[in-house]
Amino acid sequence: MMYTVLLPAAGSGKRMGAGQNKLFLELRQIPILIHTLRVFEQDSKCKSIVLAVKKEEQTFIEQMLIKHHITKVVAITEGGAERQHSVYACLKSSPDQGIVLVHDAARPFIKQVVIHQLVQTAEESGAAVAAVRAKDTMKKVENGIIQETVDRESLWVIQTPQAFQYALLEKAERLADKDCFLGTDEAMLVERLGEQVHIVESTYDNVKMTTKEDLLLGEVILNKHKQGD
């Protein structure tokens, strides 16, 4: 099954503190945004890419796409104040009403095998998200005091990509927008409709480039991938 990927890239990178959109920072001389785009450019099952960007960054990004031979971007739309708004803007520009995959442009290390499993699961069941098992002991804390230890067996750390049948995501985004509900991922919007969202086990190296430490980790992951891992 072919899919379209929606890539929100209109953030500010405040936690990275680089004074610019963190997606323009380079890992091995290639911008993070291009590392992410290359995954989908090279995936024969990806038919198109829709990007949400800041208006003032659009020309720069268009030049970047040409320089790095990225050909699958079919629409570039203006992002919104929050990530969710940027994803919704992408969805409205999607030429494809089959399976859509939402992926943070800030996660450059996603593996094709995980993407394909997500697409297949979403095709069969409607919605699927990438996730890894929680590794640490997890506790609920209020005012600095532990309230309880949460059973780790049932806890997963949620990532992107998140894959959906178009009609389901469209309904979830539309209703969230109408209700002014803001979620931190798309699964939350679908969950509030009472629909099931399936987990696809991902890898711990699908990290989101969020703070400076992640850049060091990113270089290590790139080296690991270069050695065929």
Ligand X SMILES: Nc1ccn([C@@H]2O[C@H](COP(=O)(O)OP(=O)(O)OP(=O)(O)O)[C@@H](O)[C@H]2O)c(=O)n1
Out of 12, 20, 97, 184, point to the residue binding ligand LQXTBERG (CB under 6 A). Answer: 184
User: If contact means CB under 5 to 8 A according to the sort of partner, which of ligand X, ligand LQXTBERG, none does residue 35 touch?
Assistant: none
Interface segment toward ligand X; rule CB under 6 A; list 41-49, 79-87, 150-158, 173-181: 79-87
Place of tokens 């030429």: 95
User: With binding defined as CB under 6 A, does residue 128 bind ligand X?
Assistant: no
Q: Is 221 exposed, middle or buried (0-12, 13-18, 19+ CB in 10 A)?
A: buried
Reading phi first (left if > 0) and then psi (alpha if -120 to 50, else beta), residue 19 is in: left
x-marked contacts with ligand X along 83-102 as a string, rule CB under 6 A: x--x----------------
Interface segment toward ligand LQXTBERG; rule CB under 6 A; list 23-31, 61-69, 119-127, 152-160: 152-160
User: If contact means CB under 5 to 8 A according to the sort of partner, which of ligand X, ligand LQXTBERG, none does residue 169 touch?
Assistant: none
Least Å from the CB of residue 86 to ligand LQXTBERG: 10
Contact 219, 27 (CB under 8 A): yes
Query: How many Cβ atoms sit within 10 Å of the Cβ of residue 110?
Result: 24
Contact 24, 31 (CB under 8 A): yes
User: If contact means CB under 5 to 8 A according to the sort of partner, which of ligand LQXTBERG, ligand X, none does residue 4 touch?
Assistant: none
User: With binding defined as CB under 6 A, does residue 31 bind ligand X?
Assistant: no
Place of tokens 């785009």: 37
The one-letter code for the residue type at 220 is V
Strand partners, 27: 30
User: If contact means CB under 5 to 8 A according to the sort of partner, which of ligand X, ligand LQXTBERG, none does residue 184 touch?
Assistant: ligand LQXTBERG
User: With binding defined as CB under 6 A, does residue 160 bind ligand LQXTBERG?
Assistant: yes
Whichever of 57 and 185 has its CB closer to ligand LQXTBERG, that residue is: 185
User: With binding defined as CB under 6 A, does residue 172 bind ligand X?
Assistant: no
User: With binding defined as CB under 6 A, does residue 183 bind ligand X?
Assistant: no
Q: How far apart (Å, rounded) are the C-alpha atoms in residues 183 and 225?
A: 32
Could you list the beta-strand ranges (E) of the chain. 3-8, 26-27, 30-31, 46-53, 73-78, 99-102, 127-133, 138-142, 145-150, 156-165, 198-201
DSSP per-residue string spanning 33-81: HHHHHHHHHT-TTEEEEEEEE-GGGHHHHHHHHHHTT---EEEEEE--S
User: If contact means CB under 5 to 8 A according to the sort of partner, which of ligand LQXTBERG, ligand X, none does residue 86 touch?
Assistant: ligand X
Contact residues: ligand X, CB under 6 A: 8-15, 22-23, 52, 79-83, 86, 104-106, 208, 210
